[in-house]
Chains A and B, each alone.
Chain A
């Protein structure tokens, strides 16, 4: 076994006990990156390189010199008898939607391609303060607007390590692909509608969307500010818990960060699920969508192999003593995507206002002598199509004459979605659930190019993940085997506010119960 294949918690332990040096660990991971990642995403990649289809392309910016300085410092501290922290020497990547001081922070967009951040995002600085070694920035959908990474201005976009003709999911696709391919044990992602959980499921890794406010958003380049959650992408549940320990907590720079103490997520990871009540809902075994022509609801069942992966997981949990509660009503699930279309776009359009060609970022090279023309040209040339679609729709639905009909209505429906969760998790209520078990996604990873541009279809990929963003509740996606096409399947656990510890315990129980299974031994082959 190579160092780059070790889980984060084991590597940190070996580095703290000086059995492996941080520099050795870093070089092992850098070697792996050199081997599998291929050329990084860039703005000028028009010419197709056949080799592109044989590599992962997780990175936009690899910063090995910066990482080496950090790794050497970890080794100096362990040599001096100091404890560098729980992530001592663990190489990790950061989705390029977070600012890291003195490094390019691009959001996957041409408009920020030349932007070098003057400060570091809170979750990144917390990981570094815990001893983590940052490798660099990984690719994403432009401004996180997508589910496949194909909308990044930096091409080639990441591939799925399990099948390089497939997308890794998105928008934290670079994060999930990197962890799955052994390019760093941990990655910091963000989840606005499923952007951590969906790529985690597609790439066969663990991803957690924490409770809204559990992890500070300071330094996260905003998409849907009321939905965005930074969170961990990791190889296993223990590593996700370890990372949650370092990134969660109050932050005086984020007024929406929760002022709640952070439990040790790794402490009772293995307590088991005996007596826990875990629910299943039929709303999560079918896609309900609006027919664009008739305006009526249509339904489509999800593939059987995904449904049976969830039921099999439920079976394991039942065997370990959990009560499985069936037919849990989640009547507003189907509104998750339409409501998301309105809320996220209003916030996104406003959040993108600051990219105007005046202060930083891309400015049109053409000479203009009229200020609005500077704005128009800079933004027209700097933003990709997904950003423009969001700006247009956001502007439209928040216009004074429409905001009542769309935005304010969407906010009311959002409350109904939240109510669904409050009812099933109510300790005095009918269901009294500890968690809801669902598929993470209705499909496995789709082929590159298949749905890109078909925005509505891609958004339905979020139907099982986005309601948690509306409600603010936490969700955990864990690998649950493979489909017939050889691609990973993910299952999702959703819980009430601040139930991350319990979700991780359930995930851990399932992980331990399936440890002996054949599929657990599969690793992605990249050649």
Chain B
């Protein structure tokens, strides 16, 4: 109880440092291909440049700069006309040159912002800087036959890496997660990063401090590393906030340090303190000329930017009368939003059959998501095109098939890739709307159940629903329920009238 009070007496101050590998074809400073280092054989995508051979020189990959500019512009940053690459010097076997080429005093972009939605409404977080650097290799520590050694894989060494640093504007673990997720969505929209935290393609490192509520001073920062999921991110921030408050509450001091998140223990574990931190002796990289960005280039990249999630969200709510929840689910992935709009557009081609965008959204986020999740398929790879879905929904709307049949057809479409019409014809799934046929069915059911009819006639209304079910069953679910309802109502009210009620 006391601790809960303490929690509300403190405010947490959190900034994020995000590293995103850029999905270019080749590496940052050489022409080696970028491969998935979690599945590739070690050291297959290497050359003298990225293995740090004597005498080699880096050459900037223009595509990586373009990708970085996409992100910087999407985050509304100021782009530096001239930015400078710098050397960050330190020794480690995953760093073949003994220095990482990065940007230090003059980054590519500064002063941006990112808006995103939270349960408490819209939030805006300031972006301090965005800069380009190169990734390091990967070490694997091996214990075998009483021997301990490390294996070095340089496939990842030199892969373009974008560092995005936020201002310490975040205030809670939930907010941190929402911010990181929305940044991830943007990176995916821009097609520069897959957003895979587990593979380490995207790495999020929060720095956290706490202070008494109302204070404007910053507390001692702790940096958290080793976060492989959004869940871990949220849990670690939550843990760290509580730990720091507890430290202060018990009269101890928070030590400036880097900690690692231990998923199994559910806690952060100290890695190193400030005193152990290296002096990286940054200085301008003499092997690379200043990176000069022509204003025309910025303009053309800006023009080619896709509509970003936040703008799309607002448009979807407006244009399609969707709920914020539905719109949010649809814009979470550019491919889903595109799929939704593709379906709506296909429906618009035959306006006489009306299917609302809300119905489309329900089918996508309900049935289609269910199928995608169940089969572990991405929407881009689904065999069902937006046109296929549109024609299926039109058949439902026209009463050719009912909802339940449509779900079965959708699953079949998903599995076989066949269009809806073909499946419906093949399997004889067309819904029966023929009034004379349905009238016959109704008559058969009524005459087969005289007791129930009698109960209805004497006032038990609920029997009508049971009788409806009997008709539908005898039609094996293929009868148009609206027609069945109408015909059944007609007959039953006629029977009641005859009895004089």
Nearest chain-B residue to A216 (Cβ)? Answer: B57
B476 contacts A by Cβ under 8 Å = no
A9 contacts B by Cβ under 8 Å = no
A353 contacts B by Cβ under 8 Å = yes
Say which residue of A107, A255, A256, A356 sits within 8 Å of B54 (CB atoms): A107
B97 contacts A by Cβ under 8 Å = yes
Q: What's the Cα separation between A224 and B282 when bound, in Å? A: 16
A39 CB to nearest B CB, Å: 25
Q: What's the Cα separation between A118 and B55 when bound, in Å? A: 11
Q: What's the Cα separation between A226 and B99 when bound, in Å? A: 16
B297 contacts A by Cβ under 8 Å = no
Q: What's the Cα separation between A255 and B58 when bound, in Å? A: 7
Contacts of B58 in A (CB 8 A): 255
* A-contact 0/1 string along B218-245, CB 8 Å cutoff: 0000000000000000000000000000
Task: With a 10 A CB-CB cut-off, give which of B59, B87, B98, B281 has the most chain A CB atoms.
Answer: B281
Task: With a 10 A CB-CB cut-off, give which of B52, B54, B89, B91 has the most chain A CB atoms.
Answer: B54
Contact, CB under 8 Å: A353 / B283 = no
A156 contacts B by Cβ under 8 Å = no
The answer to whether A255 and B287 touch (CB under 8 A), given A112-B54, A222-B55, A400-B281, is yes
Contacts of B56 in A (CB 8 A): 119, 218-219
B96 contacts A by Cβ under 8 Å = yes
Contacts of B283 in A (CB 8 A): 346-347, 350, 398, 403, 407
Q: What's the Cα separation between A13 and B147 when bound, in Å? A: 63
Contacts of A119 in B (CB 8 A): 48, 53, 56
Contact, CB under 8 Å: A256 / B91 = no
B residues contacting the other copy or chain, number (CB 8 A)? 29
Contacts of B289 in A (CB 8 A): 255-256
Q: What's the Cα separation between A32 and B59 when bound, in Å? A: 42
Contacts of A398 in B (CB 8 A): 89, 281, 283
Contacts of A400 in B (CB 8 A): 279, 281
- Which residues of chain B (35-82) have a CB below 8 Å from chain A? 48, 51-60
- Which residues of chain A (200-241) have a CB below 8 Å from chain B? 217-222, 224-226
| Secondary structure type dominating chain A contacts | loop
B93 contacts A by Cβ under 8 Å = yes
Contact, CB under 8 Å: A359 / B96 = yes
Contacts of B282 in A (CB 8 A): 403
B43 CB to nearest A CB, Å: 11
A138 CB to nearest B CB, Å: 16
Contact, CB under 8 Å: B60 / A350 = no
A446 contacts B by Cβ under 8 Å = no
A115 contacts B by Cβ under 8 Å = yes
Contacts of B351 in A (CB 8 A): none
Say which residue of A99, A105, A217, A354 sits within 8 Å of B96 (CB atoms): A354
Q: What's the Cα separation between A164 and B239 when bound, in Å? A: 74
B144 CB to nearest A CB, Å: 15
Contacts of B152 in A (CB 8 A): 358-359
Contact, CB under 8 Å: B55 / A353 = no
Contacts of A350 in B (CB 8 A): 87, 89, 98-99, 281, 283
Nearest chain-B residue to A225 (Cβ)? Answer: B286
Q: What's the Cα separation between A358 and B96 when bound, in Å? A: 9
A254 contacts B by Cβ under 8 Å = yes
A279 CB to nearest B CB, Å: 30
Nearest chain-B residue to A369 (Cβ)? Answer: B148
- Which residues of chain A (94-148) have a CB below 8 Å from chain B? 98-99, 105, 107, 112, 115, 117-119, 121
Contact, CB under 8 Å: B55 / A219 = yes
A316 contacts B by Cβ under 8 Å = no
Say which residue of A255, A358, A359 sits within 8 Å of B59 (CB atoms): A255
B288 contacts A by Cβ under 8 Å = yes
Say which residue of A218, A353, A360 sits within 8 Å of B98 (CB atoms): A353
- Which residues of chain B (394-443) have a CB below 8 Å from chain A? none
The answer to whether A221 and B52 touch (CB under 8 A), given A350-B281, A353-B98, A403-B281, is no
- Which residues of chain A (403-443) have a CB below 8 Å from chain B? 403, 407
Contact, CB under 8 Å: A371 / B286 = no
A325 contacts B by Cβ under 8 Å = no
B197 CB to nearest A CB, Å: 28
A525 contacts B by Cβ under 8 Å = no
Contact, CB under 8 Å: A121 / B57 = no
Contact, CB under 8 Å: B57 / A217 = yes
The answer to whether A255 and B53 touch (CB under 8 A), given A359-B96, A398-B281, is no
Say which residue of B57, B97, B279, B286 sits within 8 Å of A399 (CB atoms): B279
Q: What's the Cα separation between A389 and B56 when bound, in Å? A: 24
| Secondary structure type dominating chain B contacts | loop
Say which residue of A115, A121, A372, A399 sits within 8 Å of B281 (CB atoms): A399
Contacts of A121 in B (CB 8 A): 55
Contacts of A395 in B (CB 8 A): 281
Contact, CB under 8 Å: A105 / B48 = no
Contact, CB under 8 Å: A117 / B53 = yes
Nearest chain-B residue to A359 (Cβ)? Answer: B96
Q: What's the Cα separation between A359 and B153 when bound, in Å? A: 11
Nearest chain-B residue to A372 (Cβ)? Answer: B91
Task: With a 10 A CB-CB cut-off, give which of B56, B96, B99 has the most chain A CB atoms.
Answer: B56
Q: What's the Cα separation between A99 and B53 when bound, in Å? A: 10
Contact, CB under 8 Å: A354 / B59 = no
Task: With a 10 A CB-CB cut-off, give which of A121, A220, A226, A350 has the most chain B CB atoms.
Answer: A350
Q: What's the Cα separation between A375 and B91 when bound, in Å? A: 8
Contacts of B54 in A (CB 8 A): 99, 105, 107, 112, 115, 117, 221, 354-355
Contacts of A521 in B (CB 8 A): none
Q: What's the Cα separation between A219 and B54 when bound, in Å? A: 7
B46 CB to nearest A CB, Å: 11
Nearest chain-B residue to A109 (Cβ)? Answer: B54
The answer to whether A353 and B89 touch (CB under 8 A), given A99-B55, A221-B54, A255-B59, is yes
Q: What's the Cα separation between A115 and B51 when bound, in Å? A: 14
* A-contact 0/1 string along B277-305, CB 8 Å cutoff: 00101110011110000000000000000
Nearest chain-A residue to B98 (Cβ)? Answer: A353
* A-contact 0/1 string along B476-489, CB 8 Å cutoff: 00000000000000
Contacts of A118 in B (CB 8 A): 48, 53
Q: What's the Cα separation between A350 and B89 when bound, in Å? A: 7
Contacts of A349 in B (CB 8 A): 89
Contact, CB under 8 Å: B55 / A359 = no
Nearest chain-A residue to B285 (Cβ)? Answer: A225
* A-contact 0/1 string along B120-149, CB 8 Å cutoff: 000000000000000000000000000010
Say which residue of A226, A352, A356 sits within 8 Å of B286 (CB atoms): A226
Contact, CB under 8 Å: A218 / B55 = yes
Contacts of A105 in B (CB 8 A): 54-55
Q: What's the Cα separation between A222 and B58 when bound, in Å? A: 13
Q: What's the Cα separation between A107 and B54 when bound, in Å? A: 9
Nearest chain-B residue to A256 (Cβ)? Answer: B289
A76 contacts B by Cβ under 8 Å = no
- Which residues of chain A (372-400) have a CB below 8 Å from chain B? 372, 375, 395, 398-400
Contact, CB under 8 Å: B281 / A359 = no
Q: What's the Cα separation between A364 and B276 when bound, in Å? A: 26
Q: What's the Cα separation between A225 and B54 when bound, in Å? A: 12
Given A255-B59, A256-B289, A356-B91, 18 extra CB contacts under 8 A: A121-B55, A221-B55, A225-B286, A254-B57, A255-B57, A255-B287, A256-B57, A350-B98, A352-B98, A353-B89, A354-B96, A354-B97, A356-B98, A360-B53, A372-B91, A399-B281, A400-B279, A403-B283
A–B complex contacts, Cβ < 8 Å, 27 sampled: A99-B54, A105-B55, A117-B54, A118-B48, A118-B53, A119-B48, A218-B55, A218-B57, A219-B55, A222-B287, A225-B286, A225-B287, A255-B59, A349-B89, A350-B99, A350-B283, A353-B98, A354-B52, A354-B54, A354-B97, A354-B98, A355-B98, A359-B52, A359-B152, A375-B91, A398-B283, A403-B283
Measuring CB to CB, which residues of chain B are less than 8 angstroms from any residue of chain A?
48, 51-60, 87, 89, 91, 93, 96-99, 148, 152, 279, 281-283, 286-289
